[in-house]
Structure 1
Amino acid sequence: MPRGVPIAEPRQHLFAAAERLIAAAGPGQLTSRAVTGEAGVATGLLFAHFANFDDFLVGYAVDRSFQIAGTAAGLPARAGTGTIAANLSATILATPLIVLRGVTRLMACRPVLAAQVEAVLGTGSTVLQSLERAVVDYLNAERQRGRLPAGVDTEALALAVVGVLHHVALIDATDEVAHARIRHTVTALVESFPAVTS
């Protein structure tokens, strides 16, 4: 992008650049110069919006955690419709994998960000925690409707579902392969309960 061209959403432009860098070289290679270089903007743009580079990383982690939470929020309302496996897969795949890869890899590399995100968004809001909570609430609603057996441990099943997403987000794979693996595994997890009428 040519220098001097106005950017409608500079923060999101910089966040997307950070995600591309994480995908290409890993979070350990992130610097303010690398991010602005990838974004095609002057270094000063980053510091016009963030106090320092650590503040940028917190802003990124908060933004993406909030985005994932917003995507997950509607899952419990799907209870009783469609199939359980399809509802879970659609929700956990609604966030682009480059976003999931970026934020999960960064949080794994910089664990201190978890507390900083929770200081802004509240306890249990970091990255995939809100998604896991939404999955638990959804599975509980399906169990109450008789679409999951009464004895199903919804907390364990939710952890397994989100764990699959986390694992795939941390490894290198094309989106097509990753989506197929996630859908296949989520379906296998749900259908492992013989009484399920998904």
Structure 2
Amino acid sequence: MPSRGVSAPEVRRRLFDAAERVLLREGPAGLSGRAITREAGVATGLLHNHFPDLDGFLAALIVDRAGTASGRLRDLPVRAGSGTVTGNLTAAADALLAGNLTALAGLALARPAVVPRLGKALGAGTLEPDAGERLFTAYLEAEQRLGRLPAGTDPASLALALVGAAHQLVLTRGPRSPGLHDRMHRLVRALLPCPSSAPSPGTFPAGQ
């Protein structure tokens, strides 16, 4: 049961935040049920009141943080037709690069037992694993309908390339790496189809 006066969602948030702090400070080796509950300022057994074991908790943590990153992209499709395509895509990629996803990816690698538990956490409906990719695709399809992308563009493949590149940068450089935004901006410009291939000249906005 949760601590008196504290709701179950609040307990989960407190434990997740505490685990993330421990992970960033001590690395995967420092993550134990006792270390997490001590950091959260709650009773030692509270974690196991809400999760079957530590690996189940860590899987839920990864899914929760990945869901937060995807949530930042929810309004991407409605940005179609405003600003520039490059600017919108770069801002969306920055949302994927934000947070501590690098450390969480490292956690999954350091504790292989967590990986099989991710499927169960995802099955609970917390997050659709391809949510970011689908939102990028929906945005690019909308821009294509508006004539701001060439008719021959493959939105799904372009979305996969952009999301995959963002994940690669997170894994290899970290979200706080100097120049990461500029690197992603150059990549977006390199992957977008050339304006000259558009079916109607002048349909690309300046600065795309």
CA contact (8 A) 1:62 1:120 kept: no
35-44 or 140-149, larger mean C-alpha shift: 35-44
Rg larger in structure: 2
Aligned length: 192
Equivalent residues in 2 for 1:115-154 (5 A)? 115-121=119-125, 125-126=128-129, 129-154=130-155
Output the TM-score relative to the length of structure 2. Answer: 0.73
Q: CA deviation at 1:143?
A: 1.1
What per-residue deviation string (whole Å, max 9, x for no partner) do you get for residues 33-58 of structure 1?
33334445542332343232133123
1:98 aligned partner: 99
Output the TM-score relative to the length of structure 1. Answer: 0.76
Equivalent residues in 2 for 1:114-193 (5 A)? 114-121=118-125, 125-126=128-129, 129-173=130-174, 175=176, 177=178, 179-191=180-192, 193=194
What per-residue deviation string (whole Å, max 9, x for no partner) do you get for residues 73-118 of structure 1?
2111111111112112222323673332244334455431342233
2:70 aligned partner: 69
Structure 2 residue runs of 5 or longer lacking an equivalent are 197-203
Q: CA deviation at 1:133?
A: 0.9
1:26 and 1:163, CA in 2 relative to 1: closer, same or farther beyond 3 A?
farther
1:96 and 1:19, CA in 2 relative to 1: closer, same or farther beyond 3 A?
farther
2:201 aligned partner: none
1:194 aligned partner: 195
Q: CA deviation at 1:184?
A: 2.4
1:172 and 1:31, CA in 2 relative to 1: closer, same or farther beyond 3 A?
farther
1:140 and 1:55, CA in 2 relative to 1: closer, same or farther beyond 3 A?
same
CA RMSD in angstroms comes to 3.2
The CA distance in 2 between the partners of 1:93 and 1:99, in whole Å, is 13
The CA distance in 2 between the partners of 1:116 and 1:20, in whole Å, is 24
What per-residue deviation string (whole Å, max 9, x for no partner) do you get for residues 113-136 of structure 1?
3422331128x812xx21011001
CA contact (8 A) 2:63 2:118 kept: no
The CA distance in 2 between the partners of 1:168 and 1:153, in whole Å, is 23
CA contact (8 A) 1:76 1:141 kept: yes
CA contact (8 A) 1:61 1:103 kept: yes
What per-residue deviation string (whole Å, max 9, x for no partner) do you get for residues 137-159 of structure 1?
11111111111111122222111
Equivalent residues in 2 for 1:43-62 (5 A)? 43-62=44-63
